[in-house]
Amino acid sequence: LGSSLRGTLDKLRGKSRLSEEDIEEIVKEIQRSLLSADVDVSLVMELSDNIKERSLEEEPPAGTPARDFVLSIVYEELVALIGESTELPLEEQTILLAGLQGSGKTTSAAKMAWWFSTKGLRPAVIQTDTFRPGAYDQAKEMTQRAEVDFYGNPDAEDPVEIARKGLEETSEADVHIVDTAGRHALEDDLIDEIEQIEGVVEPDTSLLVLDAAIGQGAKDQAQQFDESIGIDGVVITKLDGTAKGGGALTAVDQTDSSIAFLGTGEEVQDIERFEPDGFISRLLGMGDLGQLTERVERAMQQTEMDEEDWEPEDMLQGQFTLNDMQKQMEAMNNMGPLDQVMDMIPGFGGGIKDQLPDDAMDVTQERMRTFSVIMDSMTDAEKEYPKAIGANQIERIARGSGTEEEKVRELLQQYKMMEKTIKQFQGMGSEQEMQRMMK
Ligand code: GDP
Ligand code: MG
């Protein structure tokens, strides 16, 4: 799965511009990866629509391969869906665990207690499961291994009473983690029971514990538990297996919550606080997506800074290259049409520009976009010395940018006209004007 996504992406390596078909292909592979990671179908569709739309509309920052740009969009969209990890302040609090039998609640309770103990807090686990015969012993043994406080009562029958008593008996602890019973399915008595426990415990945070292998069933569970006790976050267990935990996304989406912890083994130390980066990379079967996104973001900021740094006067210094033209076109996006930009240059407003051919000023937004696409497929050398661009290069650039050779020629034509204009400007006024300004 991940490997076919990587294959598709590798094919696109080095392209500075992706065609609509390229983007379709990437989005298809991402859909495939997400579906096989158990992400809900309608979520996958929603995600891929957003990814497609943004990939087609947004401009990659200069120098960023289009493939990296699309991946950063994929990452951002997934982060937007999953969010940062569930907020858990390192202070006194009560946490209630909910979930089906075997999802990993008891194990997670001990693991979380261990995790809080490493943060210098004093946690206690309260075991309220009277349903499963071995529940008390299991919880007791695990909390011993975690070296944290524990309360349970193998002889008591009322889980609500155990919860009440447990909070009293462990009053010296500052973090209370209340474990509950599960069932094979969502039965009414289970829901009633957990609602009553919730009423007594009044948790600060209620977490839904889900097995990473859960698929489409995540939605119903999340909905029912959310309606009965309100779910603030999700714990995904058994991520040390082959399952990727995509069902948790459904739960997060359904409950409008986030992910708190990941379980990665059977030992009490096998727990991680959720981080979107690693989780998303794993979901897609790709490494380092977060880092890549950071890099693209930095490039984006750099482009913005470069644009701010550019002054219309720069056009008049030295050789006018395609790089200048591109910068100038980008700047015009912010500043307005070329003739207005000319007005901003000291000494060149008013009458002088009227002597220039109209065509030199005529770069519509539409053409600017096309030109920008074409220039992204040129090498730096070509942009610095456009006169050396011959028929072979024109063919290559057209192919690389997914445009026609005719358009590339048009761009070069426009460049020549602008260069001539700029030269005229340089000849016309600059000398005397500069002298006047320096006085
Ligand atoms: P509960 O019924 O929800 O309390 O689930 P348990 O905590 O009893 O866990 C059910 C089974 O899953 C046990 O055999 C656990 O050892 C196992 N388990 C729980 N979490 C993990 C995990 O993160 N990784 C692995 N490999 N096994 C886990
Ligand atoms: Mg249990």
Sign of CA dihedral 197, 198, 202, 206: positive
- Do 131 and 49 fall into the same domain? no
Mean pLDDT of 31-56: 91
How many domains, in total, are found in the chain?
3
Number of H helices, E strands in the chain: 19, 8
Domain membership flag for residue 354:
yes
112 and 261 Cβ atoms separated by less than 8 Å: yes
Q: Is the CB of 245 under 6 A from ligand 1?
A: no
Domain membership flag for residue 69:
yes
- SS3 of 342, please? helix
- Do 30 and 130 fall into the same domain? no
Domain membership flag for residue 279:
no
- Do 102 and 199 fall into the same domain? yes
Token pair listed for 311: 């002054």
- Do 260 and 135 fall into the same domain? yes
**What are 70-106's pLDDT values in tens digits?**
888 988 899 888 988 999 999 999 999 999 999 999 9
For residue 337, report the phi and psi dihedrals to the nearest 5 degrees: -65, 160
- Do 292 and 361 fall into the same domain? no
Determine the distance separating the centroid of ligand 2 and the alpha carbon of 101, expressed in angstroms. 7
Token pair listed for 53: 């739309």
Determine the distance separating the centroid of ligand 2 and the alpha carbon of 14, expressed in angstroms. 51
- Do 178 and 223 fall into the same domain? yes
Domain membership flag for residue 148:
yes
CATH number at residue 237: 3.40.50.300
Q: Which atom of ligand 1 is nearest to the CA of 179?
A: 4
Residue nearest (by alpha carbon) to ligand 1 atom 16 = 266
- Do 48 and 137 fall into the same domain? no
- Do 138 and 187 fall into the same domain? yes
Please enumerate in sequence order all residues whose Cβ is within 8 A of that of 216, keeping only pairs 6 or more positions apart, or say none. Answer: 38, 40, 247, 250
**What order do you get walking across the sheet with 149-151 strand by strand?**
149-151, 123-127, 175-179, 93-98, 205-211, 233-237, 259-263, 271-273
Note down the domain range covering 49: 2-83+288-298
**What are 161-173's pLDDT values in tens digits?**
999 999 999 999 9
Q: Is the pLDDT of residue 113 over 90?
A: yes
The pLDDT value recorded for residue 314 is 63
149 and 122 Cβ atoms separated by less than 8 Å: yes
Domain membership flag for residue 88:
no
Q: Is the CB of 159 under 6 A from ligand 1?
A: no
Q: Is the CB of 237 under 6 A from ligand 1?
A: yes
Spatial distance between the Cα atoms of 252 and 242, rounded to a whole number of angstroms: 21
CATH number at residue 63: 1.20.120.140
- Do 65 and 99 fall into the same domain? no
- Do 112 and 177 fall into the same domain? yes
Domain membership flag for residue 304:
no
14 and 66 Cβ atoms separated by less than 8 Å: no
Domain membership flag for residue 283:
no
- Identify each DSSP E strand in 42-159 by its residue range: 93-98, 123-127, 149-151
Q: Is the CB of 266 under 6 A from ligand 1?
A: yes
The pLDDT value recorded for residue 203 is 98
CATH number at residue 342: 1.10.260.30
Residues, the chain: 439
- Do 188 and 170 fall into the same domain? yes
Tell me the pLDDT of the chain averaged across its residues: 84
The pLDDT value recorded for residue 1 is 42
- Do 100 and 229 fall into the same domain? yes
Q: Is the CB of 103 under 6 A from ligand 1?
A: yes
Among 53-57, 304-308, 328-332, top mean pLDDT goes to: 53-57
Share of the chain above pLDDT 90, in %: 46
Confidence of residue 363 (pLDDT cuts 50, 70, 90): low
Mutate to test the pocket of ligand 1, among 128, 186, 266 (most ligand atoms within 8 A of CB): 266
Spatial distance between the Cα atoms of 162 and 371, rounded to a whole number of angstroms: 72
Domain membership flag for residue 229:
yes
In angstroms, the first-to-last Cα distance of the chain is 70
Work out the number of other CB atoms within 10 angstroms of the CB of residue 330.
18
Q: Which DSSP string corresponds to 32-44? A: HHHHHTT--HHHH
Q: Which DSSP string corresponds to 359-415? A: GGG---HHHHHHHHHHHHTS-HHHHH-GGG--HHHHHHHHHHHTS-HHHHHHHHHHH
Spatial distance between the Cα atoms of 104 and 108, rounded to a whole number of angstroms: 6
Residue nearest (by alpha carbon) to ligand 1 atom 10 = 102
Q: Which of 83-97, 190-204, 279-293, 374-388 has the lowest mean pLDDT?
A: 279-293
**What are 250-287's pLDDT values in tens digits?**
999 999 999 999 999 999 999 999 988 888 888 887 76
